[in-house]
Amino acid sequence: MTEGQKTAVIFGLANKRSIAWAIAQKLSAAGWRLGIAYMNERLGLEAKDLIAELPGADGFMCDLTQDDQVARVFEEFKEKYGVIHGLVHSVGFAPPDELKKPFVETSREGFRIAHDISVYSLIAVSRGAMPLMASGGGIVTLTYFGSEKVVPNYNVMGVAKAALEATVRYLAFDLGPKAIRVNAISAGPIKSLAARGIANFSDMLRAQAERAPLKRTVDPGEVGSTAAFLLSDAASGITGETIYVDCGYNIMGF
Ligand code: NAD
Ligand code: 0WE
């Protein structure tokens, strides 16, 4: 390791369209050493090839619904890195049915899964990272505007993202005395795996580009560079915030 190099761990790499990949590339370019976690062996096949592109980056496997896997991966981080300075949580999931049927039909199990994977996992990884962030650090998660205004079909994910943004504030309060900052990036729609198969996603991208002040959709690299900023000392006074990277879409009333 280069003297003075900082280390970040990233959760949520599936493929080259993952926001986690755009963030990894920007952090790597900014000189960070990276540990990158993928959910299972199947996703690991593609993730490992990507990780190999980044100098000094290592791959780890972790299903965030499993407490023993979360505990194990942080043991591995501790063994490999000792101290870490950054954590990126780019993870979200709801059972596909929940994003198709009317919100009022949300099942108890669909609600549980969406909140377990998309919200509780941030608490779990923040707790895991805490003892490793001995010299302070930054935590960044990804959210979406559907947490605050109704986006048809986003449904239980909107409710989960509202909980995620509140979780960011409570974690920021808990971890602030340890000099650990916790923030969310509210990204505009991006065509990733999580967006595939969502009805009318192309129409959404078009409407977004039409209405946003910048008259275009957001580039994943712009989310990546914002994450790199939030993890850097340049953001040393920012915690508990949701920062919009959406070409200004959220400011519009009509
Ligand atoms: P993606 O599918 O590439 O990323 C989601 C990741 O979550 C995948 O890597 C998946 O493996 C991981 N994941 C799901 N269940 C998991 C589990 N049990 N354990 C560990 N990992 C698990 O899609 P993305 O668009 O890059 O999404 C990343 C984040 O960005 C999500 O939180 C998403 O809600 C958010 N977001 C996406 C958009 C968009 O338009 N794509 C916009 C705003 C916010
Ligand atoms: O957070 C997201 C994606 C969330 C997501 C997507 C899927 C599709 C595949 C969560 N779970 C699943 N489960 C699956 O089985 N976004 C912000 C992208 C997104 O998703 C939408 C959107 C937007 C924008 C769903 C409906 C409407 C708009």
- Tell me what pLDDT residue 223 has: 98
Cα torsion for 155, 159, 162, 168, to the nearest 10°?
-120
Question: Any idea which residues carry the catalytic annotation?
Answer: 144, 154
pLDDT at 197: 81
Q: For all residues of the chain together, what is the average pLDDT? A: 97
Residue 46 lies in a domain: yes
Look at 107-116, 137-146, 191-200 and tell me which has the smallest mean pLDDT: 191-200
- Best residue among 15, 90, 167 to mutate for probing ligand 1, ranked by most atoms within 8 Å of CB: 90
pLDDT score, position 65: 98
**Residue 192 backbone phi and psi in degrees, to 5:** -110, -175
Residue of 98, 99, 161, 244 to test ligand 2 pocket, by largest number of atoms within 8 Å of CB: 99
Residue whose C-alpha is closest to residue 137's, from 176, 165, 81: 176
Ligand with smallest separation from the Cα of 98: 2
In a domain, 234, yes or no: yes
1, part of any domain = no
Distance from Cα 155 to the centre of ligand 2, integer Å: 9
The answer to whether the beta carbons of residues 120 and 114 sit under 8 Å apart is no
- Kindly tell me if the per-residue pLDDT of 152 is higher than 80: yes
Q: What CATH number corresponds to the domain at position 99? A: 3.40.50.720
Report which protein residue has its CA nearest ligand 2's atom 24: 189
Q: What is the pLDDT of residues 5-25, one digit of tens each?
A: 999 999 999 999 999 999 999
Q: Which ligand is nearest to the CA of 165?
A: 1
For residue 86, give its domain range.
7-251
- Counting the structural domains of the chain, the total is 1
Q: What is the mean pLDDT of the segment spanning 224-248?
A: 98
Query: Rounded distance, CA 79 to CA 73, Å?
Result: 10
- SS3 of 50, please? helix
Q: Is 154 in the pocket of ligand 2 (CB under 6 A)?
A: yes
Ligand number with the minimum distance to the CA of 203: 2
Q: Is residue 155 part of a domain?
A: yes
Cα 190 to Cα 196: distance, rounded to the nearest angstrom:
10
Give the per-residue pLDDT at 243: 98
Ligand 2 centroid from CA 196, angstroms: 8
> Which pLDDT value is given to residue 196?
80
Domain contains 242 = yes
> Residue 195 has what pLDDT?
85
Does residue 65 have its Cβ closer than 6 Å to ligand 1?
A: yes
Tokens representing residue 212 in the block: 């946003």
Asked, for residue 32, whether it belongs to a domain, the answer is yes
Best probe residue, ligand 2, of 43, 159, 185, 198 (max atoms within 8 Å of C-beta): 198
**Neighbour-count burial of 254, counting CB atoms closer than 10 A to its CB (0-12 exposed, 13-18 middle, 19+ buried):** exposed
Cβ of 160 closer than 6 Å to ligand 2, yes or no, is no
Q: How confident is the model at residue 1 (pLDDT cuts 50, 70, 90)?
A: low
Would 2 be classed as within a structural domain? no
State in Å: Cα 40 to ligand 1 middle: 14
Per-residue pLDDT tens over the stretch 48-97: 999 999 999 999 999 999 999 999 999 999 999 999 999 999 999 999 99
Query: pLDDT tens digits for 132-144?
Result: 999 999 999 999 9
CA of 223 relative to ligand 2 center, distance in Å? 17
Ligand 1 atom with the smallest distance to the CA of 141 is 32
The reply to whether 201 falls in a domain is yes
Q: What is the pLDDT of residue 130?
A: 98
